A and B are shown apart, each in its own frame.
Chain A
Amino acid sequence: MDLTGELEALARSVGDAAGPVVAVGARTQFDVGGPVPTDATMVRAPAGTVRFEPADLTVTVGAGTPVRDLDALLADAGQEVPLDPRDADATVGGVLAAGLSGHRRLGRGPVREAVLEVRAAMADGRMVKGGGPTVKNVSGYDMPRLFVGSMGTLGVLGQVTLRSRARSREVRWVRRRDADPRAVRRCCPDATCVAWNGTDTVVLLEGHPADLDIQADAAGLAFSDPPVWPSGPHRARLSIRPGAVVGLRDGLDDTGAQWCAEIGVGTVHVAADDPAALARARVVAHGVGGWMLREAGAPELDGFGIELPNRALLRRIKHAFDPDDKLAPGRMPL
C-alpha cells in the first residue's frame, strides 16, 4: 500500500502543533528515556506494508506497524527482521526510536543494522528521507543511524525500509548450569544469544541441525526453555564492556535485583520490585565505566546517570533539527 497521504498528514500534524509533540506507538517502551509533557500533542505513524520483495531482502513498512504484523508478513516468505522486542505489540517505529536491541544482538547485530531508509516528519512539518532502499548504500550521510535511539527527539519516524534475512533452518535454546559462559560461547559459533544469570548459561543456537548438535555436545548444553528475562515494576539495562561482565557476578547478585547478561554483547538486563536495587545496579555499571538506561518504573533513575560524553555536539545536532525543542522535550536530557 502507498502511505504517501498518511505521511503527509503526519508531517502536517507535527508541523502544525504549537506545543510539544510526542510520537506514540504501542506504548510498550514509553517509559524509556525521560518523561514527556502530559499536554503534548500525540502523533501516530501509519501502519501497513508498503513493499516487500523477498528476493531483495528488504521490506518497507509504516513506522506504526506492529512488530507482530511485520513478523507474520516475513514469516510467510521464510524471512525475518530480528528486531525482537520483549513485547511484539511494539511498533517498528517505537523499537527504532527507543533503539533497544533485541536478545539476538550477538548473532544478528544491533537494531541499527536493520535500518536502510527512514522517512521522518521534522519539527517544522517537512517530511525528510534519509538513507536508501537498497541493502548497500553510501549515498550521503547516514541519517537512519542517527534516528535509531533518538527517542523521537529529532523527528517522528513515519516509514522505514528494513533489511530482512532468511530464517535459520533450526532455532534451538539449550542450557548448562555452572559453566563459564565465555567458554560456552567459544564452542558455539552459531549462537545468536548467550544469556547468563550467574548460574545458568542459556544459548540460542541457529543453523543447520547437524551443526547445532555438534556445538551443543561440545559445550555440554542440553535442550532448554528460553531464558527468563528479568521482569518487575522497575526495569533497566546496563551497558558494559562485554569483557567486564563475567567479573560482575557477585556485585550484581549483591544488588538484590534479578539480572541476566548477554555474553559477548555487554547488555545486562536488570529488574526489581524495589527501585533501590536498580540504583545499586547502576553503581555496579559505573564501576566498570558503563552506564544504565531505565526501561520501566524507577522514575528517580531517569537520565543517563553519568556525565554525558559529547554533550555540546549532541546539543548542536538536536538544535539543528529541532531548534525550539518541540519534539519529545525531556525525553533525551542533553
Chain B
Amino acid sequence: MGDLRGALGADRARAEPLELTMYARDAGTEVGTAAAVCFPRSADEVAAAVRVAARHRRPFVARGSGTGLAGGATPVGEPVVIVTTAMNRVLEVDPDERVAWVEPGVLNLDLSRAVAQFGLHYSPDPSSQQACTIGGNVATNAGGPHCLARGVTSAHVLAIDVVLADGSTARLGGLEPDTPGYDLRGAFVGSEGTMGIATSIAVRLTPNPPDVRTLLVDFTSVEDAAATVSGIIAAGALPAALEMMDAEITRAVEDYVGAGYPRDAAAVLLVELDGSPAGVAADEALVDEVARAHGARTVRVAADDAERELLWKGRKSAFGAIARIAPDYYLHDAVVPRTRLVEVLARVYEIAREERLTMMNVFHAGDGNLHPLIVFDAREPGVWTRVHDAGRAILEACVEAGGVLSGEHGIGLEKRDAMRMIFGPDDLDAQARLRDAFDPEGLANPAKVLPRGSRCGEVQRVPEGVWI
C-alpha cells in the first residue's frame, strides 16, 4: 500500500473496507477479495500501479464500471484492483477520418453523444451502454443489438495503447490499415483484462445512416418468429438489428413502459433497417413479405422518431421490467447457428419446466445470440442450485446445436470451467500460450477465461494465495 500511495497519492490508492467491498465483484454473481483499489488518472499512473503490483508479484485486475456479468472483473488472488473510471476523456475526434481516441473510462453512450455533432456515432451498443465503459467493452469484445450488420467491438477498434503486465507500455494496432507482425490488437480485444490494461483506445466512428426504419412484428408462436428471422436473412436482407422477445417478457415490458407491444403475442420481433432510402424501402417490403408468409399477425412500422424510440424503449427496458416480477434474475448468454434457433428455444423452455423456473427470452435473434433470463427469488431455499443446473443445461443444448458459450458477455469466472465443452486440451493449451506470451508471470487478472490445467504438461502457475 505504501508503494501504491507513493505512486498515486493517498486518495487514489485505497484499502478501506468500503472500497474493498464495493470492488469485490462486478454485475455477475461471483464475489472475490481485493487487496487494494486504485483510481489512476493517466496511463503513467496505470503503469505505476502495475509496476508496484509486479514488483510485489501481486496480481492486478482492471475494471471500468463493473457492468460485466461473467465475473471478469471479480478480484481473484487478492489483487490490486485498478479502476479506470477517472480516465474518462474523449481525447481527440477526427470527423473526416471518423476516428476518435478515448480513455478507457469513457462511457459507451457518452462517446456517441460526444460525436453526434458530426453526424457520427459509435456502433457497438451493449444494453448497459449508459453505464459501461469503452475500456470494459474492449476487454469483453462487447456486442449489442446493432452489431448484427456492423460487427462487435473488435471491428471498431483500430489501435490500443496498453500497459502490459510488467508495467511496460505498447501500442497495439494503429491508424494505418495494416500493422507489421501479428494482429496484437485483435488478440487483446476480448482478452478480459488478462493481457494488460488499455489506457487509450482509437475507435472507428460510424456515420449516422441516411434512413432508418423500425418495425415491430408480432406472432402467435415462437417458432414462426424464429423462422421469420432465418427467412429474412436467407432472403438477403441484413437488418441493422433483429431482436426477439417472447410472450412473458413482452407482457412484462408492456406492463412496465406501455410501448404498445401486443400483450397477447407469443413472440415479437423488433427489426431495424438502415442505410440509403431505396435500399431500406426494399428491405422493408422484403421483411413484411417474409413475416406475413410466416404467419405474422401485424407489422407495425414506426411512423416517426418518437415512435421508434418508444419501440426501442420497450426492448431496452426488459431488465427494469422483470424487477417487478421477481427480485432476482440470472441472465445467460450463448450463441447458436441462426437456423437452430427454433429447436434450441424449445429445449430452453423445456429446461425451465424441468427446473420449475420462470424463464424469459429477450435476445439478438439475428445473430443467434440467446439471452435466456431466469427470474427467481433468491430467498427461496435451494433455488440457486436449480438456477445453476438450468444454466448448465442451456449451455449444453447450445453447444450440442453447434453453438458457443458466449456471444458478448465473455467467459470470466462464470463460464471458465465450461470452456472444455467447446475446446479440447490442445485448443486450450494454445490459448494459454498466447496469454502467457503477453503476461509470462500470470499477474494480469489471473484465474479468468481459461480453466485450471489448460497448459499441457505443466502445473498451472496460479499466483500464490489465489482464491478461486
Contacts and interface: CB of A to CB of B under 8 A. Distances in A.
Contacts of A290: 176
A134 interface: yes
A1 interface: no
B278 A134 contact: no
Contacts of A133: 337, 402, 404
Interface string A76-111: 001000000000000000000001010001000110
A106 to B, nearest CB: 10
A316 B177 contact: no
A172 to B, nearest CB: 13
B154 A126 contact: no
Contact of B172 (A140, A310, A316, A318): A310
A313 B177 contact: no
A54 B427 contact: no
B412 to A, nearest CB: 10
A134 B429 CA distance: 22
B176 A240 contact: yes
B276 A56 contact: no
A290 to B, nearest CB: 5
Contact of A266 (B96, B170, B176, B438): B176
B99 to A, nearest CB: 8
Contacts, number: 242
B337 A58 contact: yes
Interface string B140-171: 11010001000110110000000010000011
Interface in B365-411: 367-369, 402-411
B365 to A, nearest CB: 11
Nearest to B367: A136
B170 A130 contact: no
A31 B252 CA distance: 61
Given A55-B230, A309-B171, A145 B183 contact: yes
| Most A C-beta atoms less than 10 A away, residue of B181, B191, B207, B230 | B181
A101 B419 CA distance: 31
B91 interface: no
Contacts of A200: none
A113 B105 CA distance: 26
Contacts of A105: 177
A138 interface: yes
A312 B66 CA distance: 32
Contacts of B440: 316
Given A239-B177, A290-B176, A310-B172, A135 B406 contact: no
Contacts of A239: 176-179
B449 A142 contact: no
A159 interface: no
A154 B407 CA distance: 26
Nearest to A11: B426
A282 interface: no
Contact of A309 (B151, B179, B434): B179
B279 A211 contact: yes
A101 B368 CA distance: 27
B431 A136 contact: no
A202 B435 CA distance: 44
Given A53-B339, A207-B276, A313-B438, A145 B187 contact: yes
A141 B177 contact: no
Interface residues of A, number: 83
Contacts of B183: 99, 112, 145-146, 148-149
A30 interface: no
A99 B147 CA distance: 24
A291 interface: yes
Contacts of B336: 134
A290 B176 CA distance: 7
A128 interface: yes
Given A140-B423, A308-B180, A169 B282 contact: yes
Nearest to A127: B426
B97 A242 contact: yes
Interface stretch (B52-60, B233-241, B315-323, B458-466): B233-241
Contacts of B431: 130, 140-141, 143
Nearest to A268: B177
B282 A166 contact: no
B175 A146 contact: no
Contact of A332 (B177, B181, B436): B181
Nearest to B191: A141
A39 B230 CA distance: 50
Nearest to A117: B404
Interface string A277-318: 000000000000111010000000000101011110110111
Interface in A114-148: 122, 126-130, 132-143, 145-146, 148
A310 B402 contact: no
Given A99-B178, A308-B180, A136 B364 contact: yes
B338 A141 contact: no
B316 to A, nearest CB: 19
A137 B279 contact: no
Given A138-B141, A306-B180, A189 B406 contact: no
Nearest to A153: B182
A316 B436 CA distance: 9
A221 interface: no
Contacts of A127: 426
B186 interface: yes
A6 interface: no
A54 B177 CA distance: 30
B430 A210 contact: no
A191 to B, nearest CB: 11
B17 to A, nearest CB: 34
Interface string A221-244: 000000000000000010111110
Contacts of B143: 136, 138
Contacts of B433: 320-321
Contacts of B406: 137-139
Contacts of A146: 182-183, 186-187, 434
A139 B422 contact: yes
A55 B177 contact: no
Given A112-B183, A320-B436, A210 B278 contact: yes
A113 B407 contact: no
Contact of B408 (A53, A55, A138): A138
27 contacts: A55-B234, A56-B368, A113-B155, A132-B403, A132-B404, A136-B335, A136-B407, A137-B335, A138-B152, A138-B409, A139-B422, A142-B186, A142-B189, A143-B430, A146-B182, A146-B183, A149-B183, A166-B237, A208-B278, A208-B282, A243-B96, A262-B177, A266-B176, A291-B176, A304-B181, A310-B170, A313-B170
The 7 closest A-B pairs by CB, nearest first: A145-B186, A211-B276, A210-B278, A166-B236, A208-B279, A320-B433, A132-B404
Given A129-B424, A134-B404, A139-B415, 20 more contacts: A109-B155, A130-B430, A132-B335, A133-B402, A134-B337, A136-B367, A136-B369, A138-B409, A139-B419, A142-B141, A142-B154, A145-B187, A146-B187, A150-B182, A189-B210, A237-B178, A240-B177, A241-B175, A291-B176, A314-B184
